[in-house]
Amino acid sequence: PAPATPKGADLRIRGISPFITPTDAFYRVDTALVVPKVDATAWRLRIHGLGVGEALSLSYDDLLRRDLVERDITLTCVSNEVGGPYVGNARWIGVPLAALLAECGVRAPSEGGPADQLVSRSVDGMTIGSPVEDVMDGRDALLALGMNGRPLPFEHGFPARTVVPGLYGYVSACKWIEDIELTTFDAYDAYWVKRDWAREAPVKTQSRIDTPKPFARPRAGTVMVAGVAWAQNRGIDKVEVRVDDGDWQEARLAAEDSRDTWRQWSFAWQATKGSHTLTVRATDRTGTVQTEKRTRTVPDGAGGWHSVVVTVE
């Protein structure tokens, strides 16, 4: 099991996203018109391709018999607009993916391996291509079997899915996975890449105001402004809030769980009567400040600052 989340990771402010997203509230994004209901007793996962010695075929029981780890990882969709809802944080249980690949003879490109793309295929025909380098660089890439202490629900990929901290879901998080092929980016474009999304898509440093909501009418006085910020695999270092065109003011950060999870933040605003615009920006642990430049979700994720307009009464 993962250690308990640190005290103080959850600020328990009214209206803020809970640190761990309950499974039934976790966003869902996929192309499935009907959720695949895979029979785990008949299911197998194949691992094959460039640099793999002998192709491997694993059953659900084979995976359950291995050493499993539990990790808190925040997952984000590339189609999430600034301030949008397609981000969630869960406790995943799974097989460390890098170790499993290494057993099959796979080496990262930087170690001389011939494959730079790992293509995951699902039972419903989705293909998702991840950089082999990222999957094997020491981060907690998982072949996940469980979510928030339970087997994966059908909606989130039962019996198994991948989760790779720091990469948008469409290049990392294949649900209902049944095949892993080692290949190259030159040789193959995955499903969304064929439809104009980027080949490689690390998650952008982002932050969101959860409360107050847009067009809220709080009373003058102390108003708690709060939300979440994420930069998976890099970690969040700082969050700042700006009221109208004022100076950036540092928000209070909740305790850090890991650099793969989002962080809650809060700011006690002394609100004065009238209409005000609240804006948030985050800085990650590499020193990168969330960019002001508004960009669309296509091709590699929305950029820009989230702001909310409220009227203080």
Ligand X SMILES: Nc1nc2c(c(=O)[nH]1)N[C@H]1C(S)=C(S)[C@@H](COP(=O)(O)O)O[C@H]1N2
Q: Does residue 308 bind ligand X (CB under 6 A)? A: no
Stretch that binds Mo ion, among 67-75, 164-172, 239-247, 275-283 (CB under 5 A): 164-172
**Min CB(253)–ligand X separation in Å:** 25
Cβ atoms of 136 and 203 closer than 8 Å: no
Pick from 270, 235, 264: nearest CA to 252: 264
Is 259 a residue that touches ligand X (CB under 6 A)?
no
The contacts of residue 16 (CB under 8 Å, 6+ apart) are 210, 211, 226, 227, 228, 264, 266
Q: Which is nearer to Mo ion, 9 or 128 (CB)?
A: 128
Q: Which of 11, 101, 173, 308 binds ligand X (CB under 6 A)?
A: 173
200 lines the binding site for ligand X (CB under 6 A): no
Q: Does 169 bind Mo ion (CB under 5 A)?
A: yes
Give the range of 21-29, 133-141, 184-192, 203-211 binding Mo ion by CB under 5 A: 21-29
Backbone angles phi, psi at 144, to 5 degrees: -85, 140
Q: Would you count residue 75 as binding ligand X (CB under 6 A)?
A: yes
- Binding segment for ligand X among 26-34, 37-45, 50-58, 97-105 (CB under 6 A)? 26-34
Burial of 225 (0-12, 13-18, 19+ CB in 10 A): buried
**Torsion sign over Cα 246, 252, 257, 263:** negative
SS3 assignment, position 182: strand
Q: Which of residues 127-166 bind ligand X (CB under 6 A)?
A: 156
Answer yes or no whether residue 170 interacts with ligand X by CB under 6 A: yes
Q: Interface mask (CB under 5 A) for Mo ion, residues 40-79, using x and -?
A: -------------------------------------x--
The verdict on 169 binding ligand X (CB under 6 A) reads yes
The strand pairing partners of 93, in sequence order, are 70, 146
Which partner, Mo ion, ligand X, none, binds residue 296 by CB below 5 to 8 Å per kind?
Answer: none
204 vs 77, 192, 198, CA distance in Å? 11, 18, 13
- Cβ(276)–Cβ(244) under 8 Å? yes
Q: Which residues bind ligand X (CB under 6 A)?
A: 26-31, 75, 77, 122, 124, 126, 156, 169-170, 173-176
